[in-house]
Amino acid sequence: MCNGRAADAAVLDRLQAALAHRGPDGKGSHIFGAVGMVSTRLAIIDLETGDQPIRDAQGAVLVANGEIYNDPELRLQLREVCFRTGSDCEPPLHLYRRKGLGFVDDLRGMYAIAIHDTAAAKLILTRDPFGIKPLYYVEAPGYFAFASEPQALIAASLAGRQLNQRARAELFQLKFTTGPETIFSQIRRVLPGETLVIADGRIVERRRRSALPNDAPRRIHYRDALRQLDEILRDSVAHHLRSEVPYGLFLSGGIDSSTLAGLMARLSSKPIVALTVSFPGSRAADERADAERIARSVGAEHHIIEMTERDFWANAPRVAQALDDPTTDAATLPTFALGEAVKGHVKVVLTGEGGDEMFCGYSRYRRARWLRGLLTRHARTHGEFSGLGGMNDVFSGWRDGLDRTECQQSGSGLTFVQKLQAVDCAEWLPNDLLIKLDRCLMTHGVEGRTPFLDPIVADFAFRLPDEIKATIRTSKRLLRDWLASNVSAAEPYARKTGFNPPVGEWIAAKKAHLEALVSRQPGVTEIFSRSNVQRVFSDPRKQAQAAWGLLYYALWHSHHVLGVPSDGNIEDVLIAARELA
């Protein structure tokens, strides 16, 4: 949206080209005076007539990234509408005509939506309550711009590469960045559940739809909770299986993915396609045996994707390239590998993200039940680099964003467990786990769906009594008990291992070489001394996250700030970056 000028077709072309990987099946555009919008399409529903933009009879135009799972139900509510397509993204446009900005309240799905109301001369942007689908914007003198990825705004010369130092400190200490600010100073996030109204290139109104109910736990008998859980999860998975293209499942053998496997097998007429990452030859906890056992029990077509040190050396730069909004979560590596493996075979995969946040799978939830929460009132009080010494000045303000989010929850009537859940759902979930899923899959043109992150599931799970979700000794109590009764091969009471590749082991194999390369990378030398880097790489096995975080940042900065291509291995990229210094 340009103030007083026609939209620039060349800028729109650059935006569209930068987002081509997200939608290899089609593209569209809309230009009306000062407003221009482009889309790239990954065709999942209505393969024939579902191209975007979608227009209504009054001249409103919609582009969207996502899936509206209750599309059939919404069409029944909109009986008076003459639909032009079979796209699940058309009902939101007609709901907007009927309900104004309240149209989002009826949507059950994952989405980033833009509507240009030509008659009212307004642009409406909205994002789903959990932040499953990303949406970014730049509000600058003379124009307003938005896109699904920051790199597209930069590629179109709508934003610069200058970095936000506070967000950079968060990245190192938390593994992700918080709130509306991104690591790029000029680019901001549309928050999960937020709706923006833009007129004349300026934001004139904001609204927010919460992902979680603002209610204290309700009373419910345990047997009733278990029965309702089965009904609610079955309904959510059924909605998430709505697709006109092949789908699969990322199966770790843990509680969340095993639950999805059991439900998908119950609901699917064909054997489900399940994929698991294995780390052969390493000391990492390998999920292969657990996943194979679950896959056999539900009759799945199971595929093992092996990831080795050689893959790490070759693929780490590509992972850094995909994650323009960065996270140093090492689980990005196997997620990227899974996305690449399914490309060309399935377009949709179901994943277990959100199961821990909805049903209390982290140890901090259990600790929050000790002594009425006195021992766990804050999440992440120690950063990933906090124990290394001599670096405090580098990370100034790293917890400010979390502090603000925690303060927003302090006045409510929630329990300590619920407050931790709410903070995780506001920050950790959208800004780490879901960014990881979105970028690592969409870079390969694959869509990830998250049945645990559903409004109906969230309303049920969040209002369960704390003792039903977690005891002092047991996390995910209700979900474990459901799994024990419904998937015979599962071991629901086994200890949680996590989805952690052996990055410390891989880095240790070439630590001296990597330390020399990383310590000379221009982005690293701006903030770390050589002794700081040496300290981090002194024992990569013990300090795996810090070592990977520093290596990842060197790769990320090389590509996204310096512009180094990421088509070589780790050594190629870091040498090229050093030569630019």
Selection from 71, 112, 116, 67 nearest residue 96 by Cα = 116
Q: Flag whether 154 is in a domain.
A: yes
Banded model confidence at residue 524, pLDDT cuts 50, 70, 90:
very high
49's tokens: 């007539």
More confident residue, 46 or 386: 386
Number of domains making up the chain: 3
Instruction: Please identify, among 208, 231, 254, the residue that sits at the C-terminal boundary of a domain.
Output: 208
Please tell me whether residues 297 and 379 are part of one structural domain. Answer: yes
Based on the fold, state whether residues 522 and 374 are members of the same structural domain: no
Task: Give the end-to-end CA distance of the chain in Å, rounded to a whole number.
Answer: 36
pLDDT bracket for residue 3 (50, 70, 90): low
Look at residue 372 in the predicted model and tell me its pLDDT: 65
Residue 72 lies in a domain: yes
Does 414 map to a domain? yes
Instruction: Write down the pLDDT at residue 376.
Output: 59
226 plus 299 within the same structural domain: yes
Q: How confident is residue 1, by pLDDT bands cut at 50, 70 and 90?
A: low
Mean pLDDT, to the nearest integer, of 502-514? 96
Both 371 and 246 in one domain: the answer is yes
- Name the DSSP class of 188: E
Whole-number pLDDT of residue 477 = 96
Query: Residue 273 is part of which domain span?
Result: 222-486
Last-in-domain residue among 444, 460, 486: 486
192 and 266 assigned to the same domain: no
- Say which amino acid occupies 293: R
Range with the poorest average pLDDT among 90-104, 207-221, 228-242, 366-380? 366-380
- pLDDT-derived band at 499, boundaries 50, 70, 90: low
Same domain, 242 and 198: no
Q: Are residues 375 and 447 in the same domain?
A: yes
Verify that 167 and 39 share a domain, yes or no: yes
Look over the chain and give the mean of its residue pLDDT values, rounded to a whole number. Answer: 93
pLDDT band at residue 392, thresholds of 50, 70 and 90? low
Task: Give a three-class secondary structure readout of 306-361.
Answer: ECCHHHHHHHHHHHHHHCCCCCCCCCHHHHHHHHHHHCCCCCEEECCCCHHHHHCC
Adjacent-strand bridge partners of 62:
54, 115
Rounded to whole angstroms, what are the CA distances from 166 to 181, 183, 365, 435, 525?
Answer: 9, 8, 28, 19, 17
- In a shared domain, residues 434 and 359: yes
Q: Which amino acid is at 159?
A: A
Classify residue 479: in a domain, yes or no. Answer: yes
The model's pLDDT over 325-382, given as tens digits with 9 standing for 90+, comes to 999 999 999 999 999 999 989 999 999 999 999 999 998 999 888 766 665 556 677 8
- My answer on whether 204 and 352 are in the same domain is no
- The CATH number covering residue 286 comes to 3.40.50.620
Q: How much is the pLDDT for 393?
A: 72
Question: Both 475 and 381 in a single domain?
Answer: yes
- When pLDDT is cut at 50, 70 and 90, the band that residue 37 belongs to is very high
Q: What is the CATH number of the domain that holds 84?
A: 3.60.20.10
The DSSP annotation for 201-244 comes to TEEEEEEE--SS---PPPP--HHHHHHHHHHHHHHHHHHHT--S
Tell me which of 175, 208, 241 is where a domain ends.
208
* Size (the chain), residues: 581
Tell me the residue ranges of DSSP E strands in 370-439.
none
pLDDT in tens, 401-437: 999 998 887 667 889 899 999 999 999 999 999 999 9
Is 4 within the bounds of a domain?
no
Give the model's pLDDT for residue 387: 75
Per DSSP, the three-state class of 298 is helix
Residue 2 lies in a domain: no
One-letter identity of residue 91: P
Q: Is residue 285 part of a domain?
A: yes
Residue 498 lies in a domain: no
Query: What pLDDT, on a 0 to 100 scale, did the predictor assign at position 284?
Result: 75
* Same-domain pairing of 199 and 346: no
